[in-house]
Amino acid sequence: MPPATVAKPRLGGLRDHAGFTLIEVMVVLVIMGVMATGISLGLDSLRGRDADQALRRLRLVLEATADRAAVRGRPIVVEFLPDGYRFSALDPDDNWRPLNDPPVFTEKTLPSGLYWSGLRIDGQPESATPRLQFGTQAPEYELRVATPGGEARLIGKANGDVILALPGHNA
């Protein structure tokens, strides 16, 4: 006698093949879109924080440069490069040497979205060679930096203090 075959019961006309309905695919795509939007907004806010943090760090470094030049009695220059800044100090033989005292005086690169937009020293016209020299007394200056949110200003005082005016904030 041949074995008996058992017929599979069909439940309410369900199909025999596996797959997703159009509605399920659309729901997954909507969820992925919402997640991608959230991630991109989070990354944009991190970039803005990176820029603000880099400007705050630059303010502190400029103050430290003024202090070090005054205490040691030897000039220090900050050179503003297209993508960052570096320091040089005048050695006892009157030669400019790179200043690489980590972590404060090492050459730094600006985060993406930040660009130098101008340097005015002691009320003089814009400097063609963007460099700032500190001696026994700090110069008065205004360094402008273009940021994604607008222009930030670093205002240096003769006592070495630096005021940071971020875009959208009052100085």
Mean pLDDT along residues 77-89: 93
Q: Is residue 47's pLDDT more than 50?
A: no
pLDDT at residue 169, as a whole number:
62
Q: Is residue 88's pLDDT more than 70?
A: yes
Q: How many domains does the chain have?
A: 1
Domain of 107, in residue numbers: 22-165
pLDDT band at 159 (very low <50, low <70, confident <90, very high): very high
Domain contains 13 = no
pLDDT at residue 151, as a whole number:
94
Domain contains 160 = yes
pLDDT band at 61 (very low <50, low <70, confident <90, very high): very high
pTM value?
0.69
Q: What is the dihedral of CA 92, 94, 98, 103, to 10 degrees?
A: 40
Q: What is the pLDDT of residues 116-148, one digit of tens each?
A: 999 999 877 776 668 899 998 899 999 999 998
* Residues contacting residue 146 through CB under 8 Å, at least 6 positions apart: 114, 115, 116, 117
Domain contains 7 = no
Domain contains 9 = no
Domain contains 71 = yes
Domain contains 15 = no
Residue of 82, 158, 76 lying closest to 121 (CA atoms): 158
Domain contains 16 = no
Residue 46: give its domain's CATH number: 3.55.40.10
Domain contains 11 = no
